[in-house]
């Protein structure tokens, strides 16, 4: 998944909002493509389902012995955010049954990374191990689930290596979306292992079920490397299928079966169909958000319950993915940190981007809201409709550019009366109706969450594409703040300029250090030093590309880029 660009979206940068949504639909449906014709496992492959069953059995044992054991999920960026979302949901489900919570999450960079981009800790395997030891203190049995979509994060590799060294306590599971042989083989500073070598050791142990690998192919991302999209969705699908089976086994004595796990996963396939059957509604949202971003205004997600979390997550990903400012797309959750219930509690003191409650929106944002901003209400029929209505009215006083994403259960007429009032206040309402059977099978929440994720990913991706942030299907203005991103930037420069690797890296360094002549100190520093320095530089990759294509000096390149900040146009102009 990591390095390939998806041929389906090669021209996404020049597509209309409607075509963008259609392309995303085709990309997402690749997740459920069957194995035929490929040698790689897919999401619904027998082997994947079998492994999920084994993992579910381990989780079942842990739920029955919560004092001495736990399930830990860990990842960087989106993978860590998904670890948080999933652990929150399943812990809540356990509490509702008066059972002890068994799930914990680790996100590289700590809780601040749930809401902001912290790319550097991804490179630190030791930090991963420290975090893991802390979470597992006193536990005798730990099911560790490391999530790295590209099988690449050193933070996770360190944790898996630690588990492999302590098999008496830890059983490692790896979730990712690359074939094992494509795991990253780049040396990790001060370590004897690479991600690839860890995967090889796990493959050996997997034969005796002492380790588990869950790595189906899901097809390349619509925007190259944007694993927040399919990577995140597939992570959610796989882990929820396994945990749901474990919960059903403990609470209602339903045995963990192949068919049970498969059926749960297929409910997500239906989720895609239900969601994308609303292409027109999603297109309207993409257009509205695109227009807001195009005129440097903002998009706000106001959500209730766990769906609000998906808004927070989607918004926080815009800055690392599109080089956006945190104010461009923002999420707010009813109940703020109380509802979030994260490890470290309220993070408000860390700065304005950590204000996430609806009250914060009312105090900080509402007074300056204009009709160029787009506001999205995200809620379900079980949320307090009076409250949603009040919020809608407050927003409506400032702007008509208010939209709703509303999930209702089939045949739920009681809720629809109040819903009508809200609908009248909104410019558009994306109404997603779920069949009653989803209510019964307990998959409703998971389906609504995935559906919301797909819609919001489409809105923020589509809006940034319309803003001109993408070239073909590559994000050019990516941050270069860890080794993965540094390598990606170099590859991208090679691809777009056709210059040799060495020259591309040289241009990249010039743009990072903002000089025309690199000093020996700069060229002899390691990648970590470069990526640390790059934290304070902007437009690094576009600048490097302009330098490569035109031979201009840094100052010249900077001034041209200022005149034409839309990277798509800028690049097109220099390339032909």
List residues binding ligand S6P (CB under 6 A).
75-79, 122, 148-150, 152-153, 226-228, 231, 317, 320-321
Nearest-angstrom CA–CA distance, 239 and 462: 27
Name the minimum Å distance from CB 104 to ligand S6P: 18
Nearest-angstrom CA–CA distance, 105 and 227: 19
Nearest to 268 by CA among 53, 450, 430, 35: 450
- The residue whose Cβ lies closest to ligand S6P is 77
Residue 3 or 270: which CB sits closer to ligand S6P?
Answer: 3
Name the minimum Å distance from CB 120 to ligand S6P: 11
Residue 1 or 94: which CB sits closer to ligand S6P?
Answer: 1
Beta bridge partners of 100: none
Residue 224 neighbours by CB under 8 Å, 6+ apart: 3, 4, 5, 6, 473, 474, 475
Name the minimum Å distance from CB 270 to ligand S6P: 25
Residue 160 or 395: which CB sits closer to ligand S6P?
Answer: 160
Nearest-angstrom CA–CA distance, 83 and 147: 8
**Apex 324 CA angle, 319 and 325, nearest 5:** 95
Residue 324 or 366: which CB sits closer to ligand S6P?
Answer: 324
DSSP 8-state assignment for residue 357? B
Residue 20 or 561: which CB sits closer to ligand S6P?
Answer: 20
Name the minimum Å distance from CB 15 to ligand S6P: 20
Name the minimum Å distance from CB 152 to ligand S6P: 5
Helix, strand or coil, per DSSP, at residue 377: strand
Nearest-angstrom CA–CA distance, 462 and 456: 9
Residue 562 neighbours by CB under 8 Å, 6+ apart: none
Instruction: DSSP for 301-313, please give it.
Output: EEE-HHHHHHHHH
Name the minimum Å distance from CB 385 to ligand S6P: 34
Q: CA end-to-end span of the chain, whole Å?
A: 30
Pairing relationship of beta strands 141-147 and 170-175 according to DSSP bridges? parallel
Residue 6 or 497: which CB sits closer to ligand S6P?
Answer: 6
Residue 383 or 449: which CB sits closer to ligand S6P?
Answer: 449
Name the minimum Å distance from CB 149 to ligand S6P: 4
Nearest to 465 by CA among 573, 565, 564, 322: 322
Name the minimum Å distance from CB 510 to ligand S6P: 25
Residue 80 or 468: which CB sits closer to ligand S6P?
Answer: 80
Query: Half-sphere exposure of residue 247, counting CA atoms within 13 Å on the CB side?
Result: 26
* Structure tokens that stand for 61 in this block: 């044992």
Residue 82 or 164: which CB sits closer to ligand S6P?
Answer: 82
Contact call for residues 272 and 29 (beta carbons, < 8 A):
yes
Name the minimum Å distance from CB 367 to ligand S6P: 32
Name the minimum Å distance from CB 316 to ligand S6P: 9
Nearest-angstrom CA–CA distance, 517 and 469: 29
Residue 149 or 512: which CB sits closer to ligand S6P?
Answer: 149
Q: CA-based diameter of the chain, in Å?
A: 72
| CB atoms inside a 10 Å sphere around CB 265 | 22
């Amino acid at each position: 998944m990591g390095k390939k660009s998806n041929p389906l979206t090669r021209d996404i940068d020049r597509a209309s909002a409607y075509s963008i949504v259609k392309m995303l639909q085709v990309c997402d449906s690749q997740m459920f493509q069957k194995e035929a014709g490929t040698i790689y496992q897919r999401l619904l492959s027998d082997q994947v389902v079998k492994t999920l069953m084994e993992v579910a059995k381990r989780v079942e044992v842990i739920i029955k012995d919560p004092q001495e054991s736990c399930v830990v999920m860990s990842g960087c960026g989106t993978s860590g955010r998904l670890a948080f979302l999933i652990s929150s949901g399943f812990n809540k489900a356990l509490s509702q049954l008066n059972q002890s919570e068994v799930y914990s999450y680790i996100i590289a960079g700590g809780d601040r990374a749930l809401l902001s981009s912290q790319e550097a800790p991804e490179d630190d395997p030791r930090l991963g191990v420290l975090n893991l030891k802390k979470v597992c203190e006193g536990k005798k049995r730990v099911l560790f689930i490391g999530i790295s979509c590209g099988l690449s994060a050193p933070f996770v590799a360190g944790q898996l290596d630690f588990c492999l060294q302590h098999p008496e306590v830890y059983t490692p599971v790896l979730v990712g979306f690359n074939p094992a042989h494509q795991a990253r083989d780049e040396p990790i500073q001060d370590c004897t292992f690479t991600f690839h070598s860890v995967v090889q050791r796990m493959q050996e142990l997997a034969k005796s079920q002492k380790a588990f690998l869950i790595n189906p192919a899901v097809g390349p991302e619509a925007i190259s490397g944007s694993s927040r999209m399919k990577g995140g969705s597939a992570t959610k699908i796989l882990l929820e299928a396994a945990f749901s089976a474990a919960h059903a086994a403990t609470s209602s004595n339903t045995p963990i079966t192949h068919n049970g796990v498969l059926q749960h996963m297929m409910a997500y396939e239906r989720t895609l169909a239900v969601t994308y059957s609303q292409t027109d509604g999603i297109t309207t949202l993409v257009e509205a958000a695109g227009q807001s971003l195009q005129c440097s205004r903002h998009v706000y997600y106001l959500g209730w319950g766990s769906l609000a979390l998906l808004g927070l997550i989607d918004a926080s990903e815009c800055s690392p993915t599109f080089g956006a400012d945190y104010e461009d797309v923002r999420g707010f959750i009813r109940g703020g940190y109380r509802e979030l219930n994260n490890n470290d509690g309220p993070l408000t003191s860390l700065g304005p981007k950590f204000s996430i409650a609806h009250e914060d929106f009312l105090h900080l944002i509402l007074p300056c809201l204009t009709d160029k901003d787009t506001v999205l209400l995200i809620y379900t029929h079980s949320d307090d409709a009076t409250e949603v209505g009040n919020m809608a009215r407050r927003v409506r006083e400032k702007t008509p550019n208010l939209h709703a994403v509303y999930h209702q259960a089939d045949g739920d007429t009681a809720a629809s009366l109040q819903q009508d009032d809200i609908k009248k206040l909104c410019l558009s309402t994306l109404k997603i109706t779920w069949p009653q059977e989803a209510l019964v099978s307990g998959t409703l929440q998971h389906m609504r969450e995935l559906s919301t994720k797909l819609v919001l990913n489409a809105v923020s991706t589509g809006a940034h594409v319309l803003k001109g942030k993408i070239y073909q299907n590559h994000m050019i203005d990516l941050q270069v703040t860890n080794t993965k991103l540094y390598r990606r930037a170099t590859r991208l420069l090679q691809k777009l300029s056709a210059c040799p690797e060495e020259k591309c890296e040289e241009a990249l360094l010039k743009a990072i250090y903002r000089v025309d002549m690199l000093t020996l100190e700069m060229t002899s520093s390691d990648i970590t030093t470069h990526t640390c320095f790059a934290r304070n530089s902007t437009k690094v990759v576009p600048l490097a590309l302009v330098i490569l294509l035109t031979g201009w000096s840094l100052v010249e390149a900077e001034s041209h880029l200022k005149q034409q900040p839309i990277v798509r146009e800028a690049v097109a102009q220099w390339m032909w």
